[in-house]
Amino acid sequence: MNSLFPSIVSRSQSSGLMNFFVPIISIVLTLITGSIIFILLGFDPVYALYTFFISPISSTYGISELFVKATPLALIAIGLSYCFKNNIYNIGAEGQLTMGAIFGGGIGILFHDTNAFWLLPLMIFAGAIGGALWGLIPAILKTKFNTNEILTSLMLVYVALFILDYLVVGPWKDPFGYSFPKSRPFSESGRMPLLFDGLRVHFGLIITLFLIFVSWFIFSKTIFGFQLKVSGYSPKAARYAGFNQTTLVFFAFAICGAFAGIAGLAEVSGPIGLLYRDISPNYGFTAIIVAFLGRLHPIGIIFASLVIALTYLGAEDAQLFLQIPSAVGFIFQGLVLFYLLGAELLINYKLTYKKLL
Amino acid sequence: MSDTILNIENITKSFPRVIANKKVTFDIKKNAVHAILGENGAGKSTLVKILYGLLEPDEGNIKLNNKDFKVNSPAEARKQGIGMVFQHFSLFDSLSVKENLILGIDEKMSYSDLEDKLENISSRYNLPLDLDAPITALSAGEKQRVEIVRILLQDPQILIMDEPTSVLTPQEVESLFVTLNALVKEGRTILYITHKLEEVISICDTVTIMRSGEIIDTSSTSNQTAKTLATKMLGQKLDDLKTNYGHIKDEVNFEVKNISCDFNDPFLTDLKNISFQVRVGEIYGIAGVAGNGQSELMDILTGENINIKSGSITFDSKKIEKYGPQKRRDLSISFVPENRLGHSAVPELSLSENILLSQFPKNNFIKNGIILKNNVDDFANNVINEFKVITPGNDAKASSLSGGNLQKYVIGREISSKPNILIISHPTWGIDAGAEHSIRESLIELSQNGTSIIVISQDLDELIEITHKISVIYDGKLSKPFKTSEVEIEKLGLLMGGKNE
């Protein structure tokens, strides 16, 4: 007879198969738990899950919205991979996104009556610089003073949000905006071009796909990607190899910040068109889930960003059709992360049923 | 047999590839300090771990006070009257001394009882403690005191001390000895694990000498000298090997001069004025018992630590002590540190990828920042074939290889670039005899082709087999070099035990 409860046994080598299956397992468990929650709330789980996950993408408009939401998530997540691969826990992508929006949006506000081909590229560039500078603050603190980047990067999120808050109610307030806390709208050439007429999916998607491809190349083909990986797996081996870990920390933060900054700029110059308080529904934080769900792999991140983007859309539909708060979307995001971290165990350990005597 | 407290009979414990204890049999007398002396890997730790319930023996019996003694956990061992103070402390740094002591108590005890008991212990055994001080504020000696008091609260009959003086200053050692003497006077027994000959003679009554898992001798310390102990500890080493000196050129190409380095950490050994010279084609061995500054010296030789207090390293008339590892590799100096997994190789990466950890100017691995995968794979395949590494292929993860195979691969990676200098720490540590032999042969062959090699090792047999010159590191100081073919083993043994006559 076998014992009732499995025991956890260390694998001699981490399982490649499980590496692939863990995200799938966690999504399945999330759906099951989600159904239970819906039942407890008194809904038919099949109908609720349909409303949540199928109906939002059953139209062209819905699919376009899915890509609108997935674009910043994927871009930030691929940026975060530079940090996470190096075992740097940059939690502050939301702040870097905000700073990118401020820098790039600032250019847009400055040239609000200019229409020129160079405006958008300049805004994108400024967005990248803004995000990168914000990302470099925790990098400097970490390398010079050995502070914990989890805390510093997280706290800087709120600093960035307050700066944005100050700007849109203060100096950058739209003079014709009836005192609403928002800036002037950007000029037409300061907006992300739309990819299709009548749909909100914009040029940011192309930028994202391009940067994901570049990142794939860096991760798998260059010595820089190799150095990030080694330094993440084993700092001692990186020191032995003579890789400069301070430089790696700076690069990881700067790249991640720049990507988040571009994502922020793409939001304000894409669907929004101006600066105001709530430019991001926590994309910077949710992208952490995307990065891990995608196992820090470019292709994985593309799929993960679509899955998580769907929880945003589903939450909106659930609010509309089931009259439940849209915060349910965050519950699903939380569940995915929860199960992901739990299922991660299966990569290095296996469950076995011991024979009872 | 009334004065015997512990009978150890035929204890055998084997691990994969090594028998740590082979039919170990000896008695420990009550009311005495009993030393267990041996080199690293002699089986001392395994034996005490069995006594303390951390390991289970494969065979054999232990009797405590003539009663069968069998424990499955340290808590049980403590209940039966055996306590142990480990070399590395297990204290909570952020808590106070008092809180740490409370956490260590197995049974219920009222707070005032505890304070009385502590007072009693502190004064009786010369163990002054500031109960409210946080552990972080304590010196290594004070932390050890906390550990000892914590064990004494449970009133053990036998106290096991594992290399207790390794982290102490000489004054703290003195005061520890006063404590130990007070404990013995009270009727307790101390089991004292050490490799330091001087300590055995000065405070132990009886000594059991272990070598390669076996008991060599148990005798009273009164008729032993450091010399006789050293001989027994090291055994008769092979001396019929012919070391070939013919190919060595009379030209120094690597010189370390007066290197000193302070770490301000009780678990690291400060290096004091280390100097040595290596000639072209020479293999220079650095012997010594673990924890005497070897890994600290290795980090300085590889450039992983360039914050030295004073001194210089000269290679090819360049001062290189401030060069990092890659800059040294650019001068064709290569290194193999002691740890394979996570230091000289990354277990999660493939063999091919592991090649990239160590790049020499001649290797054509990278162009404009892009990895030339074919070149790396060719190099990896070449190492695999040439050094007979057993693996399914260059895409196998480093962690899938056995220790010996991975070490052959790592050494092969370093040797294949035909370095001018090879600096290698514990080349055959923890690997099987076949791999050991082939690694030693390849080192000798490399030196005959003109590479100078520095070998840091605890394995004296190994050093005597392959080196041309040998010196001993003890407490961060390096002895003068000896010609390996002429040196007496006893002399090395004495130096390793800290006796310099």
Tokens of B185: 């006077």
**Is the CB of residue B345 less than 8 Å away from at least one CB of chain A?**
yes
Q: Which pLDDT does position B480 carry in this prediction?
A: 93
Which of the residue ranges A209-223, A342-356, B30-44 would you say has the lowest mean pLDDT?
A342-356
Top residue of B346, B351, B358, B377 to mutate, by most chain A CBs within 10 Å, is B346
Residues on chain B touching A214 (C-beta within 8 angstroms): none
Question: If we measure between CA atoms, which residue out of B477, B474, B469, B472 comes closest to residue B453?
Answer: B469
pLDDT tens-digit map of A144-157: 999 999 999 999 99
Cβ contact, residue pair B343, A240, below 8 Å = yes
Same domain, B306 and B439: yes
Same domain, B325 and B183: no
Minimal C-alpha gap between B96 and chain A (Å): 25
Q: Which pLDDT does position B124 carry in this prediction?
A: 86
Tokens of B194: 């050490």
pLDDT tens-digit map of B363-402: 889 999 999 999 999 999 999 999 888 888 898 888 888 7
- Share of chain A residues as helix, strand and coil, in percent rounded to the nearest 5: 70, 5, 25
Q: Which pLDDT does position A354 carry in this prediction?
A: 62
pLDDT tens-digit map of B276-319: 999 999 999 999 887 889 999 999 999 999 989 999 999 988 99
Same domain, B389 and B484: no
Minimal C-alpha gap between A344 and chain B (Å): 16
The answer, yes or no, to whether residue B238 has pLDDT greater than 50, is no
Residue A211 near residue A259, CB atoms below 8 Å: yes
Same domain, B191 and B283: no
Cβ contact, residue pair B326, A226, below 8 Å = no
Q: Which residues contact B133 (CB under 8 A, 6 or more apart)?
A: B96, B97
> Residue B418 class from Cβ within 10 Å (0-12 exposed, 13-18 middle, 19+ buried)?
middle
CB count within 10 Å of CB A88 equals 23
State how far the alpha carbon of A137 is from the alpha carbons of A94, A116, A147, A157, B68, in Å.
14, 33, 11, 11, 64
Phi, psi of B148 (to 5 degrees): -65, -45
Q: How far apart are CA B358 and CA B300, in angstroms?
A: 17
**Is the CB of residue B402 less than 8 Å away from at least one CB of chain A?**
no
CA A213 centroid distance within chain = 17
A&B contacts, CB < 8 Å: 66
Top residue of A11, A234, A246 to mutate, by most chain B CBs within 10 Å, is A234
Q: Which pLDDT does position B420 carry in this prediction?
A: 93
pLDDT tens-digit map of A183-234: 999 999 999 999 998 899 999 999 999 999 999 999 999 999 999 999 999 9
Same domain, B181 and B300: no
What band does A3 get if pLDDT is binned at 50, 70 and 90? low
* Closest residue to A237, CB basis, from B335, B343, B400: B343
Q: How far apart are CA B481 and CA B468, in angstroms?
A: 10
DSSP assigned state of B153: T
Map residue A168 onto helix, strand or coil. Answer: helix
- What is the pLDDT averaged over residues B69-75? 85
Residue by residue, DSSP assigns B57-87 as -SEEEEEETTEE---SSHHHHHHHTEEEE-S
Residues on chain B touching A239 (C-beta within 8 angstroms): 304, 325
Cβ contact, residue pair A223, B369, below 8 Å = yes
Last residue of a domain, one of B387, B417, B447: B417
Q: Which pLDDT does position A75 carry in this prediction?
A: 97
Same domain, B358 and B490: no
Domain that holds residue B75: 4-234
Give me the number of domains chain B comprises.
3
Minimal C-alpha gap between A306 and chain B (Å): 29
DSSP assigned state of B102: H
Q: Which residues contact B365 (CB under 8 A, 6 or more apart)?
A: B355, B356, B359, B371, B372, B375, B376, B379
* Closest residue to B399, CB basis, from A13, A237, A244: A13
Q: What percent of chain A has pLDDT over 70?
A: 97
DSSP assigned state of B441: H
- What is the pLDDT averaged over residues A73-91? 96
Same domain, B344 and B371: yes
CATH number at residue B268: 3.40.50.300
Tokens of B279: 């000639």
Q: How far apart are CA B160 and CA B78, in angstroms?
A: 11
Residues on chain B touching A222 (C-beta within 8 angstroms): 369-371
ipTM over 0.90: no
The dihedral of CA B136, B139, B140, B145: what is its sign? negative
pLDDT tens-digit map of B185-224: 888 999 998 878 888 888 899 999 988 888 888 888 888 8
- What is the pLDDT averaged over residues B3-13? 89
In a domain, B242, yes or no: no
Q: Which residues contact B47 (CB under 8 A, 6 or more apart)?
A: B8, B11, B13, B21, B24, B36, B210
Q: Please name every residue paired with B190 in a beta bridge, in sequence order, or none if there are none.
A: B33, B159
Same domain, B157 and B199: yes
Q: Rounded to two decimals, what is the model's pTM?
A: 0.77
Quickly tell me which residue has 């945003």 as its tokens. Answer: A312
Residues on chain A touching B400 (C-beta within 8 angstroms): 13
Q: Which helix (H) or strand (E) holds B170?
A: helix B170-185
Chain B residue closest in CA terms to A15 = B348
Q: Which residues contact A141 (CB under 8 A, 6 or more apart)?
A: A147, A149, A152
Q: Which residues contact B153 (CB under 8 A, 6 or more apart)?
A: B101, B104, B105, B114, B117, B118, B121
The answer, yes or no, to whether residue B501 has pLDDT greater than 80, is no
Q: What percent of chain B has pLDDT over 90?
A: 33
Map residue A250 onto helix, strand or coil. Answer: helix
Cβ contact, residue pair A240, B344, below 8 Å = yes
Same domain, B376 and B257: no
The answer, yes or no, to whether residue A11 has pLDDT greater than 80, is no
In a domain, B240, yes or no: no
Same domain, B405 and B450: no
Tokens of B298: 């290795």
Q: Which pLDDT does position A149 carry in this prediction?
A: 94
Same domain, B117 and B222: yes
- What is the pLDDT averaged over residues A277-293? 93
Same domain, B52 and B164: yes
- What is the pLDDT averaged over residues B436-462? 88
Q: How far apart are CA A238 and CA A228, in angstroms?
A: 9
B436 or B468: which carries more pLDDT confidence?
B468
Tokens of B309: 């207090």
* Closest residue to A234, CB basis, from B304, B324, B342: B342
Residues on chain A touching B348 (C-beta within 8 angstroms): 14, 233
Q: Which pLDDT does position B1 carry in this prediction?
A: 41
Question: If we measure between CA atoms, which residue out of B332, B286, B222 comes closest to residue B456?
Answer: B286
